[in-house]
Homo-oligomer: A and B are copies of this chain.
């Protein structure tokens, strides 16, 4: 999984056509995506980017009639960005947030992607659409030595649990138990930034635990 050549890669992909992701995609990479809405502001949302299997583009799935779904359909593109900031991630996942500019300050890298609908269906009463993500342009803002913080990961997991609370297929008590556990992880291993993110999760979630 290491990449010795990371520092030597061009920051922006060549203009000749072959645009690349400036990160190693493997499995599903949790990103933040901004898409331009009808009000000409950039909607900020969470998006899981699935690595290509063999050849072919990366894909992502939108669930339901979300703003990202609407803006992908109407604009055909979005800015996929990679941030370590747990507050930005929590707000992207759970709130309606709009910005005047497409790239968040906390983004370590962004990729402007054209999106193409390649499949759709229904699962448990929710319409889903699968999109191919075709990089058009990208920029790396900074490269660092990555670190692992259990609190940061617990914020991500908490947003997943919180967003499932109103989905009938999931057991509510199990989700609330998970939220309690992830909150305890944030208290043990998080920094002040993760604690701030968990306060946002609480504010944005209509439940008590």
A interface with B by C-beta (< 8 Å): 1-4, 6-7, 22-31, 48, 51, 82, 84-85, 89, 105-106, 108-109, 140-153, 156-157, 160, 178, 181, 185, 188-191, 193-194
Contacts and interface: CB of A to CB of B under 8 A. Distances in A.
B84 A142 contact: no
A31 to B, nearest CB: 8
B188 A28 contact: yes
Given A106-B2, A143-B143, A148 B29 contact: yes
Contacts of A142: 2-4, 6-7, 145
Nearest to A4: B142
A105 B3 CA distance: 11
When all copies of this chain in the complex are counted, the total is: 2
A161 B100 CA distance: 43
B23 A144 contact: yes
A178 to B, nearest CB: 7
Contact of A23 (B31, B145, B153): B145
Would you list the 7 A-B pairs with minimal beta carbon distance, nearest first? A153-B153, A27-B191, A26-B191, A143-B143, A146-B146, A28-B189, A30-B148
25 contacts: A1-B193, A2-B108, A3-B144, A6-B143, A7-B142, A23-B144, A24-B147, A26-B191, A27-B191, A28-B190, A29-B147, A30-B148, A30-B189, A48-B189, A82-B147, A82-B148, A89-B148, A140-B145, A142-B145, A143-B143, A143-B144, A146-B147, A148-B152, A153-B153, A157-B185
